[in-house]
Chains A and B, each alone.
Chain A
Amino acid sequence: MATSVQRASQQLTMADLKGKVDPDWCPGCGDFGVLAAVQKALVELRIPTYNVVTISGIGCSSNFPGYMNTYGMHTLHGRALAVATGLKLANHELTVLVTGGDGDGFGIGGNHFVHSMRRNVDLLYIVMDNQIYGLTTGQTSPTSRVGMKTKSMPFGNIEAPVNPISLALAAGATFVARGFSGEQKHLTELIKQGIEHPGFSFLDVFSPCVTYNHDNTYQWFRPRVKKLEEDSAHDPTNWMAAMEKSLLWGEEIPIGKFFERTDVSTLHAAEPVLNNGPLVHGDLKVPPDVARSFVEELM
């Protein structure tokens, strides 16, 4: 996201981004790495903290806004993107970060996920994807692999998981990337790009759940993840190639920027009502001559 990213007048530090309380995630949780990468990205981009809004749904990873020193909204399960869309349209000068988990985004929030992408709402959506429901103590999620045994599917998952990258590409996201919590520098770079991208940036992050997911661990991911940036043949402007890459899973799992295009108007830029600046700064009153014309139409 980022049509008009504002810069802070002075250098920010990691301490400037630290929220009022420390995370209550389990020790070793992948979300710590995502939080640090987001804070680092904002420091490096020098965005004034009061101009950033971090919006989440419900779940372990959705506690995220409380750990940031930005404006924050900890909303309802699955609804963060809808709330963020309204907020962005009312004040498009704000930098909007949406954070949450795979259950929040691809399960209960699946409808808003798809529609926010086709609308190209200008925000960065980070999904801390741990392939399990953590806060409800370990049930199958929309990204759990077939066969995974959980408390809700003790004999193994029989449903095929959603592929977030393919889905985002198909739904029209204009920036599609995948990161890994265990790859800090790479992740920070993707977050910075996602914030600066004009339009909907989707960033799926492998963020292992050390308590409930014993299949998809740091040790499982580390040998498998391969950075697309290191593949000289990868062209992130090629949608078909990105779709093919998105289907890779197994011994080799690509991370990095799959796809980006900047030729699609963001939702707020496409709406002439916003030509005179953010709605929140505008006059509340309808001009008297316009009001009169509204009544005269009815006579």
Chain B
Amino acid sequence: MLLRLRTLVKLIPALCASFAMAQDQPTFLRDIAPVLNKAGCTSGPCHGSAKGKNGFKLSLRGYDAQYDYEALLYDLSGRRFNRAEPGRSLMLAKPTMEVAHGGGLRFEKDSDYYRIIYRWIAAGVPFGDEKRDAVTALDVEPREMNMQKPGESVQVKVRARFADGQTRDVTRDATVESNTPDVALVDAKSLVKGERVGEATLLVRYQGKFQTIPVTVLNPKMGFVWKSEVQNNYIDQLIDEKLKRLKIQPAGLADDATFLRRASLDLTGQAPTPEQVRAFVSDTTPVKIKRAKAIDKFIASRAYTDHWTVKWADLLQNSRKYVGEKGTFGFQEWIRESIAANKPYDKVVRELLTSRGSSYDEPAANYYRITRDAKPTMEKTTQVFLGVRMVCAQCHDHPFERWTQNQYYQMSAFFSAVGLRAGYEVGEEILFDQRANYDMKHPKDGRVVKPEFLMASAKPVAIPDGPQRRDALAEWLVSKDNPFFAKAIVNRVWSYFLGKGIIDPVDDIRASNPPVNAALLEALTKDFTDHNFDLQYLMRTIANSRTYQAAITPNEWNQNDAINFSRFIPRRMSAEQLMDAVNAASGAKAVFPEVPADLNASQFPDPHVGKEGFLDVFGRPLRESACECERRTDFSLPQALNLVNGRTISDAVADPKGRVAKLVLSGKDDTAIVEELYLAALSRLPDPAEAERAAKYLAPGPRATRAQDLLWALLNSKGFLYIY
């Protein structure tokens, strides 16, 4: 025993010495790359810029340590270090401003950064070893922050774990950013301060690894008493669970007329008719049941198909600009049929991705005609169906995600064999699978990149070596195991009903953009896959929830919440909805020469129809991008001017065959006319004060003009322009 102890004692200095040795040998990977990042050398405006700065180029935010090391070694024969006299090295003289440096002073001569670089040069500028010096993970503390009130502060601590098992406190060199600085503000020393009540996410980055920390700043106000609102399904339970914790009181149900208009516009794109409103409001069936029935009726309508065809034609970028006139109609019809038949979503996507042959015989093939090349096709496929934006990774590893440049090319390789050639008919193209030299090449060194999935799924999918590899991609992509596929569409559909995704933006799903209610998104996703990717089932579930049917009126406890769906947030009607609603309310019909006169705006094939007119002013997308953001939802000055001065509304209200003309000719009394116009424009009856004031306005003057004025005013009101 004694002997053993002695051996141990003897061993200790030896162990310490070897430890000290390892510590004394700084390596580029472990010690220098983080300094270049933290000192700002690799930042976008400096040497990390695509063209470098003043002749010296590093990878953006140091994503490629090997590249940066080689830049130091081989650019201008290693001019930036001097192993014989480390103190004379340019890479010390520049950042300390010992010689003039366009980037200014990055660190002082008397600083740890200076000393570590000096020691590294004196050690001979070693790169280090990935197997020893690479960061494998970050440990952050705390894992989440719950502040009881604004004004509290919490320090973030970051430790890096290296491949050799060592760990190191890197709090000073890690980057900590807040996605909502007006809730959680991070200072230079990674101290986080709660600024106001709300939620935020911190992104902690260090050497390509990252972690997120959710922050909640609670409302310190006393006197919160939870008041249960009706829970129609699991959505409301999960929403309420979180609201209760955050001391947010949800709004109750909206009234029947409001619900009917909202659900009708969201499900069918059309406002309900005056008859529908009257019947629904006077129906005495219990609320939950009659609303469920109305939802079913909307989903079964033809307008439902029109409305969702527009959405999908947007995302799939159906436009004659890319696929010609005949191609556009063909693709639109294919989308329509898929929606009308309620084809399971996985089947739709599989058909798109595996389409081949004539674009006339198999319109789904237009999917490939629109983007044409492997890389843009991959970008849209991942963005639309997985909600993942890969575009950054074309040039460098994604700064806030695990996606690497290699993965960008591996995923693109699935599409690299897809070829298009002219068909036998005018405008026809044939999609085939064996383009000459179809190998995907890596831009850095021209090596062939083999296709590989973004991540392995639970059930492995074999990737064939030959050109037909996109079939394997389709199989992997639409699988129930795919962690993104179902989640992405569920989140997207949710946003169409509630105005905002549970992850928002809906097509930017990444670890650093976490869901506002993870349990809810998970439950919806599971429910959706359990029901065989049934989109109508999903919409029905959402539309029946109290969360969707809630009133817009804020209360004392939810007035500051805009992200937890504690009340309904009004949003402007889309361009097509607005155009159709103006026509429906006025009884007029705007005519477009490119299409048959009886088509609604939501039945137009592409943005070529009515180009640069009313629809474009109100944000109809040109379908040049697969981004959900291409459809503008803002309210702008040109829109306001168009409503007030433009011809769309003034012509509609004055149409000699329109609703006002008919009403006046019918000889109805003022009260009846007012009621009818309110129902037509706002899908509700006027309240007594409104009715009285409107009737008073109609009474004295020429009735036709006055009634037109009234309708004009209603069409310019928020109650018309917004879905609320």
A and B: bona fide binding partners:
no
By a beta-carbon cutoff of 8 Å, the part of chain B in contact with chain A is none
Contact residues of A with B, CB < 8 Å?
A: none
